[in-house]
Amino acid sequence: MSQTLIAPSVLAADFANLQRDVEMINRSEADWFHIDIMDGVFVPNISFGMPVLRDIVKHATKTIDVHLMIVDPDRYIKTFASLGANVLTVHYEACTHLHRTLQAIKAEGMQAGVALNPHTPVALLEDVIKDIDLVCLMSVNPGFGGQSFIENTYDKVKALKHLISEKGASTKIEIDGGVTNKNARELKDVGADVLVAGSYVFKSENPTETIKGLKEITS
């Protein structure tokens, strides 16, 4: 079985010490940077935008995984490509022409991701799963860090894993929200490939050790 990737969410970092926190992730055993972009319309919160991402990318040495929680994400695909995003994830609920959006992301040389809100069934991806590089299952309602993990996520991972193998796709499964040492192993065991962790990492006493712990639990 392939190793589980750990993606600390920069949303929970100290924005007044962003370079320090980015360098901590660089030096740690983390695999990806998870970057949450919120517009205050698709979700009831505004995080940060392009100028902040540009400065993160200047210092980051690992894969940049951008999670767009914005309406009409097609408007910004080229912008995020030019800023250095490696994975660009849009929300299923925010895309009228999802197939077209996925092709546009790939045409810019990025991996194409689709995020599903907790209420959105995995089966809705049946006809596009082969076009998706990564499905991000939201295990909290998007908009804020620090919320509790929704237990139904395990069943969604299993359903998605089944859909991926049934269709012969090679899509990765990412889990986003409320990930801790309490659920990481079970998430891996049911089929998760990438675990996003925000508060659990950054609010801990020693974030580097916390990341190491997540890698160990899932190895």
Over the window 31 to 70, marking each residue x when it contacts ligand DX5 by CB under 6 A and - when it does not, the resulting string is ---x-x------------------------------x---
Contact flag: residue 207 with ligand DX5 (CB under 6 A): no
Which C-beta is closer to ligand DX5: that of 97 or that of 144? Answer: 144
**Over the chain, what HEC string results?**
CCCCEEEEEHHHCCHHHHHHHHHHHHHCCCCEEEEEEEECCCCCCECCCHHHHHHHHHHCCCEEEEEEECCCHHHHHHHHHHHCCCEEEEEHHHCCCHHHHHHHHHHCCCEEEEEECCCCCHHHHCCCHHHCCEEEEECCCCCCCCCCCCCCHHHHHHHHHHHHHHCCCCCEEEEECCCCCCCHHHHHHHCCCEEEECHHHHCCCCHHHHHHHHHHHCC
Which C-beta is closer to ligand DX5: that of 167 or that of 212? Answer: 212
**Which residues make up the interface to Zn ion (CB under 5 A)?**
36, 67, 176
Residue nearest to Zn ion (CB): 67
- Taking CB within 5 to 8 Å according to partner kind, which of ligand DX5, Zn ion, none is near residue 180? none
- Taking CB within 5 to 8 Å according to partner kind, which of ligand DX5, Zn ion, none is near residue 65? none
- Number of shown-chain residues binding ligand DX5 (CB under 6 A): 22
- Whether 74 is a known active-site residue: answer no
Catalytic residues: 36, 176
- Binding interface with ligand DX5 (CB under 6 A): 9, 11-12, 34, 36, 67, 140, 142-147, 176-179, 196-200
